[in-house]
Amino acid sequence: MSTCICRNLVLLVIAVGTLGSVAAKAEAKVPAPKVDAPLAQSSSKETAVFAGGCFWGTQAVFERVKGVVSTEAGYSGGSASTATYAQVTTETTGHAESVKVLFDPSKITYGTLLRVFFSVHDPTELDRQGPDVGTSYRSAIFYANDEQKRIANAYIAQLDAAKAFPKPIVTQVVPLKGFYRAESYHQDYALNHPDNPYILICDRPKIATLKREFPDLFVPYKGHS
């Protein structure tokens, strides 16, 4: 997701081929989780943190999901002292590019968020996503409590048993020890740079998948008011 990738035509060509193969995998809709929390009786706010490759695209998806209150692009998995883009891109910090999703559990369940997450990235790719290679682009779920851990592990087991993907899922399920907000220019990057070649090739298809597969969840997004 680095700026050099955005300018590198070779990697963009690779991305086209990669996304084509991912699109072929997505022809069968990812099934709903059998284990999930019920919708809450009253409105509140809970946090989910997901890493699914470049945080530009992950944020672009979740900020368009009904029941999501807000999103932030950032870093999880490493320490506060190394939570900068310049350091994370060295692939030595332990951080993954992540998105913090603040959601209302009376409007959307954690399991439904997971279903969206697994529908818009390839959870079988280890330490990469499309043209982006490195541990900072790994697939990971950072759970905030034991219930999230239980639901995430059960869902991965369900998807693997159903062979929802051609290969086993490699998504990490690990405790959320910290989330560090990324630099301001990364926030709403896809919205603010709609003509960026990387956004057009790698991230707009994720938004299209959300709208196609989850029309009842899709809401337009024009930025924070």
Tell me the per-residue pLDDT of 48-90, one tens digit each, with 9 for 90 and over. Answer: 999 999 999 999 999 999 999 999 999 999 999 999 999 999 9
3-state helix, strand, coil in the chain (%, to 5): 40, 20, 40
Domain ranges of the chain: 3-213
pTM for the whole structure? 0.90
SS (H, E, C) 131-170: CEECHHHCEEEEECCHHHHHHHHHHHHHHHHCCCCCCCCC
The amino acid present at 214, given as its one-letter code, is F
The amino acid present at 184, given as its one-letter code, is S
Hey, which CATH number is domain 3-213, 3.20.20.80, 3.40.50.1820, 3.30.1060.10, 1.10.8.60?
3.30.1060.10
Q: Note whether 39 and 107 are within 8 A (CB).
A: yes
Tell me the per-residue pLDDT of 3-51, one tens digit each, with 9 for 90 and over. Answer: 434 434 434 444 445 444 443 344 478 999 999 999 999 999 999 999 9
- Distance (Å) of CA 189 to CA 63, 107, 222: 12, 26, 12
Q: Is 6 a catalytic residue?
A: no
The amino acid present at 24, given as its one-letter code, is A
